[in-house]
Structure 1
Amino acid sequence: MKKFSIVIAGGGSTFTPGIVLMLLDNLDKFPIRKLKFYDNDGARQATIAGACEVILREQAPDIEFLATTDPEEAFTDVDFVMAHIRVGKYAMRELDEKIPLKHGVVGQETCGPGGIAYGMRSIGGVLEIIDYTEKYSPAAWILNYSNPAAIVAEATRRLRPNSKVLNICDMPVGIETHMAQILGIESRKEMVIRYYGLNHFGWWTDIRDKNGNDLMPRLKAHVSKYGYVVNNGGDNQHVEASWNDTFAKARDVFAVDPETLPNTYLKYYFYPDYVVEHSNPEYTRANEVMDGREKFVFSECQKVIDNQTTKGCALHVDEHASYIVDLARAIAYNTKERMLLIVENKGAISNFDQTAMVEIPCIVGSQGPEPLSIGEIPQFQKGLMEQQVSVEKLAVEAWATQSYQRLWQAITLSRTVPSAKVAKEILDDLIAANKDFWPELHKEEAVPVIS
């Protein structure tokens, strides 16, 4: 059986150890000959890599391991690039959240102005990874799960249309894990789902077991009372209080359209007033992560390095990341697995923008994804999606043309923002904060002062 060479782009991420442990758990299904880490922050990566080197030595000493900041070294001789980069790290995420909140607007990592700001930073980094891959390993597939996935996916469609990049997100996997727990079944893979939308902006329309039995009524009954909250979520990633609130709020999101089951992120668009009211502008989700997962992962990694053993180590397998192995296997072995991917619409949703990057079920094989037909979608979802996809397209256009006007329009169009005046105030603050990361924006014409 062929063994594969993988580079994890974003080797210094707090998610990298969990992904490595998940890959090692699946070596029987997806054998690895070489594993490389790439990050432009060598010092941060060194701690994660040092611990992972010990893990590999204990569990799979035959796998060649390398951590590097040199693109040629990283991207040469690889079959798969697994990309999860965070340009600006958590310090910039904190600003993405706190600057909009200062103006009374939702401060969130991938939604609203914060998501747009993050997208403006991510585009260049993801394109750079695509270019490195095409230069040094042109046959490799890039499995990109860098956020904000919707804006990044639109950027790859528009600016690297011929690249072998697949854009994916683990949030539906996380929600489906909760659904499986609600139903009392062992795995989300026992469910056959129909879903459509944009990334972090979608709906489940049908969920059945492998025998074709409809599971939606039981799920709807639970969600109408409790949202996606379950007593034992079995979810190591989404454990903080803010996530519990997000899963609970799905009850109110569901009430808006009880024909479907919603992605939790819709709360930011349907109830932005609630979100702002329940946010602490001094201590946001970024602070939770920095004080929680980031400190935990780095301290555990340092412990492994100091002891040169994983004995007593609390690092755990990232179950969410199992979908990355499923996707790599589908391509490597032509398994024709059914998976949710972010792909160009091209008629899959018949009454929606053909060039939109939509999140829908696809059959995945060695040639990549074959999107399944969704057909027509209802007016409510169509209207919401048309507004949101325009935000994403305007943001990418702003990056590509360095246009202040287009970015102002993108923020103005977000459902989370109450007016163009507020949008401009937020944009000006975000420009100042992102001067080291964004392209310099130019005003096409004089912008009047708005009082």
Structure 2
Amino acid sequence: MNKKNAFSISIAGGGSTYTPEIILMLLENLDRFPIRKIIFYDNDYERQKLVADACEIILRERAPEIEFLSTTNPKDGFTDIDFVMAHIRVGKYEMREKDEKIPLEHGIVGQETCGPGGIAYGLRSITGVVELIDYMEEYSPNAWMLNYSNPASIVAEGVRVLRPDSKVLNICDMPIDIEERMAVIAGLESRKDMTVRYYGLNHFGWWDDIRDKDGNDLMPVIKKYVLENGYNLELLNKEVRLNDPDWLDTYRFAKEVYRLDTETLPTTYFKYYLFSDYAVKHTDKNYTRANQVMDGREKRVFDECSTIVEKNTAKETNLEIGVHASYIVDLARALAFNTHERMLLIVENKGAICGVDPTAMVEIPCIVGANGPEPLSIGEIPTFQRGLIQQQLAVEKLAVEAYVEESYQKLWQALTLSRTMGDADLAKVILDELIEANIDYWPNLK
């Protein structure tokens, strides 16, 4: 490999359970995206060390020419970098558990990116992501950040307000996973055999046109399947996490959401916004998704990393490439090689969706090249979708305004306006409990 034509990458959130699968994907794509150096950066030394030690063995066995460094020092973590791949979780799963359980105790949806819990997580994430941007711009000002830290909409809005000129692209893997399912339903080999029109906010959008490369309309066959099965397609559940009952129910429930508007195909998260009573009823408030992940994915990945380190080899590893990792490589290639690939990104609206605030951070198809994304025009959208977008957008903008202005009032308004919340007094009770839980993370609201 010619190192002069290869790239240097910093993975911010090196201790994440998703980091090993990103490494595996990068290694699988070295012929398309050559790498000279990989740096892990995390502010949690112990958590990162286990993952880093395992990944160092993987790299040694599969690509010994790649320089590797694991660090908690920002200067070392962000110097001489072409791309930062950021997937941080501020507060880790312990805080996610509080995000979920505090609302659920009051009969309100407790979910990672939706409702009060999503807002709480968003306010923590803004601080962490902006810190990473500042490190990148100080030590590698020409680098791009590919950010897939959740909740993506609030984080993207926070970055738009606080670091408007930064070279940051906000992305999400959920539409990609659903499009892979759609491709299988339509009898295609890959989602890349489809051209899609999609619009909305992150975890809050719809497909209104899907065609194969010959222009044939695939919507009828996909709609027919979704009406009967949702997006449940067990043969595609390659990742272990996608086979648990919670995910299977979420995919299946998409058929109920679809019935609300049979002209479009929805994302799965509308289960929480439009059928919140169902979501609460079918969630164990004492053992939420955070507990499932800590006892499942987190334990599984860390145990596997420990096994690799103990055996000093990864030749028989059970670690797998995840659905979102491939999208990151495609995006990095588009920027590096000016491929002009069509991709879904979270970008400023600027008139792409008619009737929606031009400053809204919307999720739409873009053509991506060396200069970044060029958003495609969506035009007019139906009243139902526009109304939902306007309401959720107001929630996200109020949350970010509350963060910037340290405003208790605006955060109370944000929680009250969420479709998951029906009562302002209850929103205040939940807000006060979230403030107490996030005392070490949130601004001091006044």
Q: Number of paired residues? A: 442
Among candidates 317, 322, 327, match of residue 323 of structure 1: 327
Q: 2-side partners of 1:235 and 1:435: how far apart?
A: 39
Q: 2-side partners of 1:421 and 1:234: how far apart?
A: 41
User: How far did 1:39 drift?
Assistant: 0.2
Matched-pair contact (CA < 8 Å) for 2:33–2:333: yes
Among candidates 192, 196, 199, match of residue 195 of structure 2: 192
Matched-pair contact (CA < 8 Å) for 1:21–1:318: no
User: How far did 1:233 drift?
Assistant: 1.7
SS of residue paired to 1:363:
strand
Q: 2-side partners of 1:29 and 1:129: how far apart?
A: 27
Matched-pair contact (CA < 8 Å) for 2:237–2:243: no
1:40 aligns with 2:43: yes
Matched-pair contact (CA < 8 Å) for 1:174–1:235: no
TM-score normalised by length of structure 1: 0.97
SS of residue paired to 1:351:
coil
> Which residue of structure 1 aligns with residue 411 of structure 2?
407
Among candidates 391, 396, 399, match of residue 400 of structure 2: 396
> Which residue of structure 2 aligns with residue 104 of structure 1?
107
User: How far did 1:180 drift?
Assistant: 1.6
Among candidates 260, 264, 267, match of residue 263 of structure 1: 267
> Which residue of structure 2 aligns with residue 233 of structure 1?
236
Q: 1-side partners of 2:51 and 2:273: how far apart?
A: 36
User: How far did 1:230 drift?
Assistant: 1.2
User: How far did 1:178 drift?
Assistant: 1.3
1:202 aligns with 2:243: no
> Which residue of structure 1 aligns with residue 14 of structure 2?
11
Query: Could you report, residue by residue, the CA deviation over 1:28-73 in whole angstroms, capped at 9, with x for unpaired residues?
Result: 0000000000000010000000000000000000000000000000
SS of residue paired to 2:107:
coil
Matches within 5 A, 1:244-393: 244-393=248-397
SS of residue paired to 1:235:
coil
Q: Kindly report structure 1 stretches of 4+ aligned residues shifted beyond 4 Å.
A: none
Q: 1-side partners of 2:48 and 2:234: how far apart?
A: 35
Q: 2-side partners of 1:92 and 1:382: how far apart?
A: 32
Q: 1-side partners of 2:237 and 2:423: how far apart?
A: 41
Q: 1-side partners of 2:60 and 2:220: how far apart?
A: 48
Matched-pair contact (CA < 8 Å) for 1:332–1:366: yes
AA of the residue aligned to 1:317: I
1:171 aligns with 2:135: no
Query: Could you report, residue by residue, the CA deviation over 1:168-223 in whole angstroms, capped at 9, with x for unpaired residues?
Result: 00000011111122223211111100000000000000000000000000000000
Among candidates 127, 137, 149, match of residue 124 of structure 1: 127
User: How far did 1:311 drift?
Assistant: 2.9
Root-mean-square deviation (CA), in Å? Answer: 0.8
Q: 2-side partners of 1:364 and 1:57: how far apart?
A: 33
Matched-pair contact (CA < 8 Å) for 2:171–2:344: yes
Tell me, which stretches of 5 or more residues in structure 2 are unaligned? none
Q: 1-side partners of 2:330 and 2:55: how far apart?
A: 22
Q: 2-side partners of 1:67 and 1:13: how far apart?
A: 13
User: How far did 1:9 drift?
Assistant: 0.2
Matched-pair contact (CA < 8 Å) for 2:109–2:115: yes
Matched-pair contact (CA < 8 Å) for 2:176–2:323: no
> Which residue of structure 2 aligns with residue 216 of structure 1?
219
Matched-pair contact (CA < 8 Å) for 2:36–2:65: yes
Q: 2-side partners of 1:75 and 1:277: how far apart?
A: 45
Among candidates 54, 57, 61, match of residue 60 of structure 2: 57
User: How far did 1:350 drift?
Assistant: 1.8
Among candidates 180, 190, 193, match of residue 183 of structure 2: 180
Matched-pair contact (CA < 8 Å) for 1:145–1:169: yes
AA of the residue aligned to 1:407: L
Matched-pair contact (CA < 8 Å) for 2:234–2:243: no
Q: 2-side partners of 1:14 and 1:231: how far apart?
A: 23
SS of residue paired to 1:107:
coil
Q: 1-side partners of 2:153 and 2:80: how far apart?
A: 29
1:139 aligns with 2:145: no
Q: 2-side partners of 1:158 and 1:46: how far apart?
A: 34
Tell me, which stretches of 5 or more residues in structure 1 are unaligned? 443-451
Q: 1-side partners of 2:417 and 2:393: how far apart?
A: 10
Q: 2-side partners of 1:235 and 1:427: how far apart?
A: 38
AA of the residue aligned to 2:168: V
TM-score normalised by length of structure 2: 0.98
1:79 aligns with 2:82: yes
SS of residue paired to 2:81:
coil
